[in-house]
Amino acid sequence: MSPGKPIKCIAAVAYEAGKPLTVEEITVDAPKEHEVRIKVEYTAVCHTDAYTLSGMDPEGAFPSILGHEGAGIVESVGDKVTNVKPGDHVIALYTAECKECKFCTSNKTNLCSSVRATQGKGVMPDGTSRFHNAKGEKLLHFMGCSTFSQYTVVADVSVVAVTPEAPLEKICLLGCGVTTGYGAAVKTADVQKGDTVAVFGAGTVGLSVVQGAKARGCSKIIVVDINNQKKQWAQDFGATDFVNPKTDLKEGQSIVDKLVEITDGGCDFTFDCTGNTSVMRDALEACHKGWGQSIIIGVAAAGQEISTRPFQLVTGRVWKGSAFGGIKGRSDMDGLISDYRDGKLKVDEFVTHERPFTDINAAFEDLHHGDCLRTVLDLSK
Ligand X SMILES: NC(=O)C1=CN([C@@H]2O[C@H](COP(=O)(O)OP(=O)(O)OC[C@H]3O[C@@H](n4cnc5c(N)ncnc54)[C@H](OP(=O)(O)O)[C@@H]3O)[C@@H](O)[C@H]2O)C=CC1
Ligand Y SMILES: N[C@@H](CCC(=O)N[C@@H](CSC=O)C(=O)NCC(=O)O)C(=O)O
Active site residues: 46-48, 68-69, 98, 101, 104, 112, 116, 176, 374
Q: Find which of ligand X, ligand Y, Zn ion, none residue 101 binds, CB within 5 to 8 Å per kind.
A: Zn ion
Among 279, 295, 333, 351, binds ligand X (CB under 6 A): 279
Neighbours of 199 (CB within 10 A): 34
Which SS3 state, helix, strand or coil, does residue 168 take? helix
Cα separation of 95 and 143, whole Å? 8
89 binds, among ligand Y, ligand X, Zn ion, none (CB under 5 to 8 A by kind): none
Q: Between 226 and 299, whose beta carbon lies closer to ligand Y?
A: 299
Q: Does 323 bind ligand X (CB under 6 A)?
A: yes
Find the binder of ligand X among 152, 158, 276, 293 (CB under 6 A).
Answer: 276
Q: What's the one-letter identity of residue 256?
A: V
Closest CB to ligand X among 7 and 323? 323
H-helix segments, 292-379: 310-314, 329-341, 360-366
43 belongs to the binding site for ligand X (CB under 6 A): no
- Near ligand X by CB under 6 A: residue from 143, 205, 287, 333: 205
Contact 124, 130 (CB under 8 A): yes
- The secondary structure element, H or E, covering residue 75 is strand 69-77
Any contact of residue 315 with ligand X (CB under 6 A)? no
Element containing residue 259 per DSSP (H, E): helix 255-262
Give how far the C-alpha of residue 188 lies from the chain's centroid of Cα atoms, to the nearest Å: 15
Which does residue 116 touch among Zn ion, ligand X, ligand Y, none (CB within 5 to 8 A, set by kind)?
ligand Y
Give yes or no for residue 59 binding ligand Y (CB under 6 A).
Answer: yes
Distance of CA 290 to the CA centre of its chain: 31
Question: Which parts of this chain interact with Zn ion (CB under 5 A)?
Answer: 46, 48, 98, 101, 104, 112, 114, 176
Q: Which does 298 bind (CB under 5 to 8 A by kind): ligand X, Zn ion, ligand Y, none?
A: ligand X
Helix axis angle for 255-262 and 277-285, nearest 10°, is 30
Instruction: Using CB under 6 A, pick the residue from 274, 294, 312, 375 that binds ligand X.
Output: 274
Q: Angle CA(327)–CA(302)–CA(12) in degrees, nearest 5?
A: 70
* Pairwise CA distance, residues 67 & 313, whole Å: 37
Residue nearest to ligand X (CB): 203
Q: What is residue 50's three-state secondary structure? A: helix
Tell which one of 29, 35, 57, 285 touches ligand Y (CB under 6 A). Answer: 57
Nearest approach, Cβ of 201 to ligand X (angstroms)? 3
Query: Which residues 148-187 are close enough to bind ligand Y by CB under 6 A?
Result: 176
- The vertex-342 CA angle with 340 and 348, nearest 5°, equals 35
| Binding of ligand Y by 117 (CB under 6 A) | no
Instruction: For the CB of residue 269, give the shortest distance to ligand X in the complex, in Å.
Output: 16
Taking the C-alpha atoms of residue 56 and residue 76, their distance in angstroms, rounded to an integer, is 35
Exposure class string for 151-179: b at 16+ Cβ within 10 A, else e: bbbbbbbbbbbbeeebbbbbbbbbbbbbb
Of these partners, Zn ion, ligand X, ligand Y, none, which one is at the site of residue 59 (CB under 5 to 8 Å by kind)? ligand Y
By three-state DSSP, how is residue 112 classified? Answer: coil
Which amino acid, one-letter code, is at 10?
A: I
- Stretch touching ligand X by CB under 6 A, among 29-37, 174-182, 186-194, 235-243: 174-182
Query: What are residue 196's DSSP bridge partners?
Result: 220
The answer to whether 206 touches 350, Cβ cutoff 8 Å, is no
Distance from C-alpha of 303 to C-alpha of 247, rounded to nearest angstrom: 30
In terms of CB distance, is 111 or 243 closer to Zn ion? 111
Q: Which does 154 bind (CB under 5 to 8 A by kind): ligand X, Zn ion, ligand Y, none?
A: none
Sites of contact with ligand X (CB under 6 A): 46-48, 51, 176-177, 180, 200-206, 224-227, 230, 273-276, 279, 297-299, 322-324, 370
Sites of contact with ligand Y (CB under 6 A): 46, 48, 57-59, 95, 111, 116, 176, 299, 323-324
